[in-house]
Structure 1
Amino acid sequence: MNHKSFLTFFFIFLFPLFIFQSVFAADYVISGKLLSHETGKPVEYANILLITGEGTYSGETGDFQVKSEKLPVKVTISHIAFRDTSFIAYSQSIGNIYLRAEVIAGEEVFVTATRAVKGKSPVAFSTLSIEEIKARYTVEDVPMILAMEPGVYSYSESGNGTGYSYVQIRGFDQSRIAVMMNNVPLNDNESHQVYWVDHGDVLADAEDVQIQRGIGNSLYGSSAFGGSINVLTSIGAKNPEFAVNIGAGSYNTSKIHLKAKSGNLFDDKLNLSARLSQIRSDGYRDFHDTVQKSGAFGIEYDGKNFTHQFRVLVGYENSRLMWDGIFADEINDREKRRAGYQSYIDDFLQQIYSVNSSWRINDRFHCTNVVYLVRGEGYYQTEKTSGYDLAEDGGNADRDDFRDFLIAYNLDNYYEGYPWDSMNSRELGFTRRKWIVNNYFGIIPTLTYIRDKYRLDVGGEIRSYAGDHYGEIADFSDPDLASLISRDWYRYYNYIGEKLITTGFAHFAFEPLEKLKLIADLQYQRVHWNMDQKKIGHAVGYQLDAKWNFVNPRLGAIYSFSDELFVFANYGKAQREPADEQIIEADDVWNAPQKASAELIHDYELGGRYRIRQLEIDLNLYRINYKNEQMKNIDIEQEGEYSYYHSDATLHQGLELELAYQPSSFWTLNLNGSASQHIFHTGDWKDKIIPNVPCLLLNGSVAVYPTKQITFFMNSRFVGKQYLDNQNLGTNDAYWLLDAGARYIFKNVELNFKLNNILDKLYSTYGYGYEWGGYYAYYWPGATRNGFISISYRFKK
């Protein structure tokens, strides 16, 4: 950032804060925010009492304001679930106040072993609260909302954050991030990928989103190499309510959702909730439109010692997309950079059914369980053509390619007796659909034993997966061929993939000293995979079977020097089986099985937090040694597919820094950044930087609260340079974006406005390059200035 950019940033981003603070600050009004020390969540309905007699209580966001006749003054805070806290307020702005949970009759507040807690878990993590989600989210897919978190990089194919979106943590793509929805593993069991497009508007229900970096506390589900993401959705509400939200924005983007909550029923034991949503957008790029329809239903039952939460999440999407980037010479042209063509249609329906149960057996024993079923069905569709003309140059080679084209789709038998030598030209086109119908189900029981100085969690997961893949073609341009195929859709391949995953784990936490906590985890995972390729046409009919056994230990320690300062260190090992396509592309008659080894990482981390008055500082260092990293490039000869390869050893290391500053209740400042290195450690590309991984990420956000009803915010993101290829020949330039927005709440009405890329910069988020008689580079463009506005009305009893 040059000095001119910095001055612009200062005057439109920071200077107004001092104006706001001067205008709206009032004498003798003490303000602060109450947060749980264990979870970081706001504490509502706490009593705040001054020694002079004035008092108030905290709101739903944990914020409070109370008038005082003098300063300094003694403040006492009390809450039935937290320890009483007293202190002297020397100024009006107290900032964040962390309340420790009350321990009743030897009982410890119960938090699941996979959940990270500040000061107790030796893990680098951040948690987006419900208020932060409301401030950031309008219509985007989940990855785009996480882009402001430390070490996180997100982008979308459409350019404007809708449709297919992707997230990286510490340079690892989302296939190496363990993603969960309400503790249900969400990564695809065959490719390890995550398809956020299937979960439109899920953040409208989110209670919080926790992002752990590194191996973290993940004990089951997909292996967490770069990190883990767990989205928790809420069900309960104290009172009945019904809400309507309508929004519209750039690129014909629109959203509507209806949400209802029953409030407490049957002596506060039962709660019901439901939501229906629809999101539409044309996307920034041409032919990148999407329609996302989703629904959610929840039942929560709270007994004396147990809780059951039943959820149904249904998501449907129909999206157009293309894999080709924009040529380098056109990426800076405001019109040409948006160009596209009709390429793919992706259509998918996913249903997630889950029951989360928690049972407090007694003061010492707790039991939790997750039971889930995930069903999916859909296809992606494209038009395929091939042909030849012997009168043109290369006609003979084109004729050979045409023959291979017929074989690939098992159509050559319909051309038996075809006069290849006498026919000078031929062309064939048709519509192709590749289908997947899959389901997986599982159970994750955990038993927890708690004593004064230690805690032991023992549990496991059993997950069974089956996926039926088949390809169909129709709408033949050759009428002779169409007359010979009587079916509407001609099936040209079929294979079934199955996987049984069995995981056992133990988590042990021990406090030998009041300020020292030690953690030891051990995970055993067995993966049994098989694939049955049906013998259709030229398909060989491979029957493949493989087993992997992984033992993954983890160790950690955290030392608290005081309530304001702690440090931690941890080590972890994680392993993962190859994706199916790394072994065989079973839909390709030319493809044969190949060896693919499991991936393995050793993760070393050191970090800590320091809090002083209104300032919080988090610092983390990590080094990840990666063995047999499976990598991929976009296959330029086969659109929509990747070519796979591996590197024997890669190195990922870096530094992450977070600063949170709240000098008053009127504004907050959050800054974070990561500087990292991601390189090939051996081989022909030794010391070269791994493609499409930014090594520098900087984020800044300011929120201003002139009144309780109004919020202004501004977000700034800097993404460093990325390389396009393993030889580091092509680059994707660094870019800096500035977003702003406002939120206004008046009684039951809420208005939200968000303006992205307000400086209207041209930038690209992803790219690829290759040499072929010269160097060719292609880029995925990011959207120029765009906005979205929404209005909500909440009916409350």
Structure 2
Amino acid sequence: MKKLILGICFILLSIFTFAQTIKGKVTDAATGSPVNGATIDVEGAGITTTNESGLFYMAVKKGTYTVNITNVGFKKLEEKLSPSSTVAEIKLQRQDLFLQEVEIKAVRASEKSPFTKTNISKKEIEKNNLGQDLPFLLNQSPSVVVNSDAGNGVGYTGIHIRGTDGTRINVTLNGIPYNDAESQGSYFVDLPDFASSLNSVQVQRGVGTSTNGSGAFGATINLSTNEFNDKAYGEINNSFGSFNTWKNTVKAGSGLINDHFTVDARLSRITSDGYIDRASSDLQSLYLSGAYINNKTSVRFNLIKGKEKTYQAWNGVPEALLYTDRTYNSCGTEKPGDPYNNQTDNYWQDHYQLFVNQELSKTWSFNVASFLTRGKGYYEEYKAQQPFENYGLSDTTINGAPVTQTDLVRQRWLDNYFYGQVLSFQHKSAKDEVTIGGGWSEYDGKHYGDVIWAQVGIPKDYRYYNYPAVKRDQNVYVKWLHQLSTNWNLFGDMQYRHVYHRMEGFEDFPEMTISRQFDFFNPKAGISYNRNSYNAYFSFAMAGKEPNRDDFQANPSQQPKREQLQDFELGMEKKSSWFSYGATLYYMNYKDQLVLTGQMNDVGAYVRVNVPNSYRAGIELQGSVVVNNWMNIHANLAFSKNKIKSFNAYFDDYDNSGEWVKQIPKEYKNTDISFSPSIIAGGTINFIPAKFLVISLPAKFVGKQYLDNTQDETRKLSDYYSQNVMATFTIKHLLFSEWNIIGQVNNVFNKRFETNGAAYATMLNGSIQNDNYYFPNAGTNFMVGVNVKL
């Protein structure tokens, strides 16, 4: 750890060896005004953006470089530039088409907004996309920790940002809500290889700006695919690696047809055996997007289809086997003999998205997006010695002897429709940007279970439960960014959100019907200062969040309350051609946060309980430096305290229990929130020995995390350091337009570490006993990819 901190200090404080520089100024050919935020892709050297003066700089070696300049609303431009002491003048021609992504601008934080954010470009996504799930492509972002059930990043994966899990991270696809309406989680396994269709990602840490869908209670991830491609293209991407992992992707686009139409398509498949025993994945997806665009209107339709089949690896490895049978998987082992071969999770998810963007005047624009998400699937499992009464059936008799239980195979289904609209009006003048937006959605979900086989006593395809649910969500917001002076900007944001949730029965409470509604007022305000590539800001934001479906599965006296969050953010950053650095201080104060305490409800299910006071406080540091023309470094480091001020933990008391397990409460004060490491660091060193070769050394350090909220050292994930190596070899104009050959070795030093786990503590023989489970990460493994642009 000391070496890591010293390395980061070197990154932030080292004295640089200055190289030769390509310099340019990008302006609007029609008006002569500078173009801010244009993407500058210098072949073989890197990617940067123009500043508010339209200027950019890039350290390079001697020679001539191909420079691609892109910006929304302008035609793409390719220039040949060489190092020079003079600034190259580059003029972009206006694209006489309405290309503004209004639906994305409505939910994203702009450069002058006073919120903590990280923008990730298409190029950055592409260079790491060898088949791992989307959270793993975000792993180098500040305060991010990822995990994988299968141990290699394929299949079911998870992400924590500032310690908050996926149920508290708001995710949108082109401004449309993606989180599951009831669990509020985001299951990226249902969108295999979605990264291959992304053109940008913004990660907002903290509450962020108002958005659509479930409450952002720690972070927001905005995903955008609605890219305009004016030239026809085709790509074939193939990867192969450890654990028989394959990724096959075909992409194509028509370019601009008859000056108005575009079509983009992608077909993908990812398969893997997984690192954990039987943790296989078979993932398929389709992306199809068609658009009509003129000078004031754009209409786009997206079809996104995903299909996943994964062998279950949900239980983790028991602590007793962690060092002797590290890939052990208990799923399917209730079947006598060999594990059940179809202990699988199966889900199909289709997204239908229709966007209409309209320029109303030179200062006003409008967007409406209508959507339908159709999801259907089940997980199948072999269960041994199941009592008939658990399935609503009476005991049976065989040869005159009573039989009370049976082995069986069951499927638990989700069958749901999620549909609605989001819309926004946007006004932009010289000093003001105003967004008025909102949306509505309805979730119609069916939860049911079928027994498809039983040894005795249960007919085939017997439906043993059926619990429908409806959830409605409406919100409206107003955002205002006002330029107070040349350097100062004021931001205000107000959102009202209403949620209604009706659930007719639960597995543990089949006769219970819950109807709850929640109203949230979420104000946000801040101020920012921008000058000479400096940006500083302060913001305050409030957020409210309703409980998840599982939280309601309790008797009326234990029904959960809503959660509330107050978020304070103070940040600054500096960007130049040679280096950048930034720091963010944050304090996130929670009221009635829902956490697991070990407490059981009336039927023996563990439930989350509101704790009155808890908080997260920390500092996030970021830095990058161009050391010279063949080496650059990027790093981030976060320190945090994540505390529950006071709560009661409950332990099952097997010393004094009869037919019903009793519980013993124990008070804890000022303990760490589970899965919230106090140190998270990431960094990448890039070597560029030649234009056609980039060697990268991405690394990650995650401090220890506790598996529950008692801060007990016997129930934790140890800290870990993981080092990867990646090499990208680019060949231009050899049979095809471009070849990219990528080799990646993960966990180079073959470290043993675990990224997730669970703990069950009980009272036995007068002391607390641990029953811990862990999800190990794979040892040294590799991926090789060959990407061809036709």
List aligned pairs for 1:488-499, cutoff 5 A.
Answer: 488-499=460-471
Give 1:361's aligned amino acid: L
- Give the aligned partner of residue 171 of structure 2: 179
Aligned residue for 2:440? 462
Q: Quick check: 1:365–1:447 contact (8 Å CA) kept in 2? A: yes
Shift of 1:511: 1.5
2:747 counterpart of 1:757:
yes
AA in 1 matched with 2:775: W
- State yes or no: 1:625 paired with 2:589: yes
The partner residue of 1:256 within 239, 245, 248 is: 248
CA shift for structure 1 position 682:
2.5
Partners of 1:609 and 1:617 within 8 A in 2: yes
**Any conservation in 1 of the 2:539–2:569 contact (CA below 8 Å)?**
yes
Alignment match of 1:516 (pick from 480, 488, 491): 488
Within 5 A, what are the aligned runs for 1:73-88?
Answer: 73-80=85-92
Matched, 1:292 2:283: yes
Superimposed CA distance per residue, residues 3-58 of structure 1 (whole angstroms, 9 cap, x where no aligned partner) = 6x899x89xx99xx999x99xx7xx67478989985574379999999xxx99862
Secondary structure of the residue aligned to 1:138 is: coil
Confirm whether residue 690 of structure 1 aligns to residue 673 of structure 2: yes
Name the SS for the 2:389 alignment partner.
helix
What is the rounded CA distance, in whole Å, between the counterparts of 1:150 and 1:186 in structure 2?
22
Determine if the alignment matches structure 1 residue 744 to structure 2 residue 729. Answer: yes
> Deviations 1:266-303 (Å, cap 9, x if unpaired)?
12x21101111110111111121111100000012211
After superposition, the C-alpha distances for 1:423-452 in whole angstroms (9 at most, x for unaligned) are 5x7651000111010011111111122232
Query: What is the alpha-carbon distance in structure 2 between the residues aligned to residue 39 and residue 371 of structure 1?
Result: 29
Q: Which amino acid aligns with 1:697?
A: I
**2: CA distance between counterparts of 1:635 and 1:242?**
55
Q: CA deviation at 1:464?
A: 1.1
Using a 3 Å threshold, how does the CA distance of structure 1 residues 49 and 364 change in structure 2: closer, same or farther?
Answer: closer
Q: 1:606 to 1:29 in 2, by over 3 A?
A: closer
Question: Aligned runs of 1:325-340 on 2, under 5 Å?
Answer: 325-333=316-324, 335-340=325-330
1:712-765 Cα shifts (integer Å, max 9, x gaps):
111011010111222222221111110011112213322111110011111111
**Of 541, 554, 558, which residue of structure 2 is paired with 1:572?**
541
For residue 253 of structure 1, what is the amino acid of its counterpart?
T
Partner in structure 2 of residue 228 of structure 1: 220
Q: Which amino acid aligns with 1:296?
A: Y
Q: Which letter maps to 1:740?
A: V
CA distance, structure 1, for counterparts of residue 149 and residue 194 of structure 2: 20
Q: Is the 8 A contact 2:321 2:328 kept in 1?
A: no
SS of structure 2 residue aligned to 1:716: strand
Structure 2 counterparts to residues 100-179 of structure 1, below 5 A? 112-118=105-111, 120-179=112-171
Instruction: Report 1:553-564 matches (<5 A).
Output: 553-560=523-530, 562-564=531-533
Contact 1:461 1:502 in 2 (8 A): yes
2-structure distance, mates of 1:793, 1:108: 28
Deviations 1:361-418 (CA, angstroms, capped at 9, x unpaired): 11121112221110000001111122xxxxxxxxxxxxxxx6xx32221122x53x78
What amino acid is aligned across from residue 226 of structure 1 in structure 2? G
1:505 aligns with 2:505: no
- CA drift at 1:65: 6.8
Q: Are the structure 2 counterparts of residues 40 and 199 from structure 1 closer, same or farther at C-alpha, using a change threshold of 3 Å?
A: farther
**d(CA) in 2 for partners of 1:375, 1:258:** 24
Q: Secondary structure at the match of 1:362?
A: coil
Q: In 2, Cα distance between the equivalents of 1:258 and 1:540?
A: 47
Identity %: 26
Give the match's secondary structure for 2:126.
helix
Q: Is the 8 A contact 1:31 1:65 kept in 2?
A: no
- Structure 1 unmatched ranges of 5 or more: 83-101, 387-401, 586-590
Q: 1:593 to 1:116 in 2, by over 3 A?
A: same
Partner of 1:99 in structure 2?
none
Q: Distance in 2 between matches of 1:635 and 1:288?
A: 31
Of 782, 787, 791, which aligns to 2:786? Answer: 791
Counterpart residue identity of residue 426, structure 2: T
Contact 1:48 1:77 in 2 (8 A): no
Whole-Å separation in 1 of the counterparts to 2:121 and 2:148: 24
Letter in 1 for 2:488: L
Gaps of 5+ in 2: 28-33, 44-49, 58-62, 71-76, 334-342, 648-666, 733-737
- The separation in 1 between residues aligned to 2:320 and 2:88, in whole angstroms, is 65
1:108, distance to aligned residue in structure 2 (A): 14
How well do the aligned residues superpose, as a CA RMSD in angstroms? 3.6
Report if aligned partners of 1:31, 1:64 keep a CA contact under 8 Å in 2: no
Distance (whole Å) between structure 2 residues aligned to residue 731 and residue 302 of structure 1: 54
- Asked whether the 8 Å contact 1:159–1:780 carries over to 2, the reply is yes
Write the letter of the residue equivalent to 1:695: S
Runs of 4+ in 1 over 4 A off after TM superposition: 31-40, 43-50, 54-57, 60-65, 107-111, 337-341, 417-420, 591-594, 633-637
The residue type equivalent to 1:761 in the other structure is K
State whether structure 2 residue 197 is matched by structure 1 residue 215: no
Aligned to 1:769: 759
1:551 aligns with 2:521: yes
1:720 equivalent in structure 2: 703
Higher strand share: 2
Q: Partner of 1:411 in structure 2? A: 393
In the other structure, the counterpart of 2:31 is none
Amino acid at match of 2:267: L
Which TM-score applies when normalising by structure 1? Answer: 0.83
User: Which stretch shifts more, 745-754 or 649-658?
Assistant: 745-754
SS in 1 for 2:124: helix
Q: Tell me the SS of whatever aligns to 1:581.
A: helix
Contact 1:33 1:42 in 2 (8 A): no
1:369 maps onto 2:368 in alignment: yes
Q: Is residue 583–residue 593 contact of structure 1 (8 Å, CA) maintained in 2?
A: no
**TM-score, length of structure 2 as denominator length:** 0.84
Number of the residue aligned with 1:270: 261
The question of whether the paired residues in 2 share the 8 Å contact of 1:287 and 1:342 is answered with no
Distance in 1 (alpha carbons) for counterparts of 2:245 and 2:377: 24
- What residue identity is the alignment partner of 1:143? P
In 2, the alpha carbon distance for the partners of 1:6 and 1:153 equals 18
1:218/1:228 contact within 8 Å kept? no
Among 49, 58, 68, the alignment partner of 1:59 is 68
After superposition, give the CA deviation of every residue in 1:528-556 in whole Å (9 maximum; x if it has no partner). 1212349x9x9754333221111111111
User: 1-side partners of 2:377 and 2:605: how far apart?
Assistant: 17
**Residues matched between the structures, number:** 716
SS in 1 for 2:127: helix
Q: Structure 1 residue 236: deviation in Å?
A: 3.4
1:204 counterpart residue number: 196
Q: CA deviation at 1:593?
A: 8.3
Q: Cα deviation per residue 1:168-221 (whole Å; 9 max; x = unaligned)? A: 111100100000112111101011011111011111111011101011123321
Q: How has the CA–CA distance of structure 1 residues 444 and 79 changed in structure 2, closer, same or farther, with 3 Å as cutoff?
A: same
Is the CA contact 1:143–1:154 (under 8 Å) kept in the aligned structure 2? yes
C-alpha distance in 2 between matches for 1:578 and 1:232: 28
Which of 623, 632, 637 pairs up with 1:659? 623
Question: What is the match of residue 94 of structure 1?
Answer: none
> What SS does structure 2 have at the residue aligned with 1:682?
strand
Secondary structure of the equivalent of 2:105?
A: coil
Q: Does the 8 A contact of 1:29 with 1:65 survive in 2?
A: no
Decide whether the 8 Å contact of 1:171 with 1:694 is kept in 2: yes
